[in-house]
Amino acid sequence: MSDITACGPATKKLCERAYELHKQTEYQRLAGISVAHLYNLRKSTPYQRQRFTFEKTRPKAALIGERKKPRANGEPGFIRIDTVHQGDQDKHKGVYHINAVDEVTQFEVVCTVEKISEHYLIPAIEQILDCFPFVIQGFHSDNGSEYINYKVAELLQKLLVEFTKSRSRQTNDNALVESKNGSVVRKLFGYAHIPQRWAPLINEFNHKVLFPYVNYHRPCYFPKTVIDSKGKEKKTYPYESMMTPYDKLKSIEKAENYLKPDITFEILDKAALSQTDDQAAEYLQKERSKLFKTIHERDLKSG
């Protein structure tokens, strides 16, 4: 099971899916592996340092977007978006990853651009919105100037998408996408500088390889809200609620009503079942290695 992004329970879930869904008999014993044992294997200090990522938001006052926590009410189409910068070197900026995650289904789209200026960002946002199989209803960002500007607001208004932004001193408003920055983007691309000229090649990898993998083959935790005796809400993350974003989408009542007009579950099923989870993980690893080999070798030749 060659998945570099899966946690202990996710690895267990992948083994179960391989045996039960994809009928891979070689995973029969692994399907019953202990989650506790998997966690014991992942307690090393180097792993912990790379696994958890914390980034501070730079606030910027602007009368664009409503400052509130969006309320999805169990409906797909309310996305959280954030930017991940791929390092500096000799005063040269690296590429930027634009990461968008749906709040309810955890469907995820990553788009890589050379810069976060208007020239690059607006087409990237259009591409991101187009990749989601369901209609986008809400767009939530932190207070970074790349999103809080009139061009982005104009685009979202044209598409009838609600534009909200994080509140002051409310660090959890954009926590979902920030956690995905660490568990998906940083695990795949690391922290080292990647020159901006490689943005188109990385973005092609995101679209062809990363998008189908994280949405059809990578299980995620989904919270359940429990109300205690004092009436306080508490979120739990039971193993039984772990599933892929696509499975979560299909589990929503009348889910077909949220799909875009030209999308059906028959079309999505073909994409989801075209590979087993194991095949998708191996393909991701293979293409990632090929991508970094190309970048490294050509950078050496160019000096």
What digits encode the pLDDT tens for the residues 267-303?
999 999 999 999 999 999 999 999 999 998 876 666 5
Task: Decide if 137 contacts 62 (C-beta within 8 A).
Answer: no
Mean pLDDT, range 113-121, rounded to an integer:
92
- Evaluate whether residue 152 is within a structural domain: yes
pLDDT at 207: 97
pLDDT at 37: 73
Q: Which residues pair with 80 in a beta bridge?
A: 101, 140
- The whole-model pTM stands at 0.81
Mean pLDDT, range 207-227, rounded to an integer:
94
Task: Decide if 181 contacts 101 (C-beta within 8 A).
Answer: no
For helices 8-20 and 277-302, what crossing angle results, to 10°?
Answer: 120
Model confidence at 60: pLDDT above 60: no
- Evaluate whether residue 47 is within a structural domain: no
- Evaluate whether residue 171 is within a structural domain: yes
In 3D space, the residue among 191, 73, 201 whose CA is nearest the CA of residue 137 turns out to be 73
- Evaluate whether residue 219 is within a structural domain: no
pLDDT at 234: 85
In 3D space, the residue among 14, 2, 5, 12 whose CA is nearest the CA of residue 244 turns out to be 14
Mean pLDDT, range 77-102, rounded to an integer:
94
Tokens representing 142 are: 């932190």
Q: Which domain holds residue 83?
A: 66-214+278-302
Model confidence at 181: pLDDT above 70: yes
Q: At residue 132, what is the residue type?
A: F
- Evaluate whether residue 3 is within a structural domain: no
Model confidence at 51: pLDDT above 70: no
pLDDT at 174: 86
Mean pLDDT, range 14-32, rounded to an integer:
87
Model confidence at 62: pLDDT above 60: no
pLDDT at 172: 77
pLDDT at 90: 84
Q: At residue 7, what is the residue type?
A: C
Mean pLDDT (the chain, rounded): 88
φ, ψ dihedrals at 32, nearest 5°: -105, 20
- Evaluate whether residue 104 is within a structural domain: yes
Interatomic CA distance for residues 282 and 246, integer angstroms: 20
In tens, the pLDDT along 137-149 reads 999 998 888 898 9
CATH number for 191: 3.30.420.10
Number of Cβ within a 10 Å radius of residue 68 = 14
- Evaluate whether residue 284 is within a structural domain: yes
Between these two residues, 168 and 184, which has the higher pLDDT value? 184
- Evaluate whether residue 137 is within a structural domain: yes
Domain tally for the chain?
1
Model confidence at 46: pLDDT above 80: no
Interatomic CA distance for residues 216 and 108, integer angstroms: 10
> To 10 degrees, the CA torsion angle through 199, 190, 30, 10?
-80
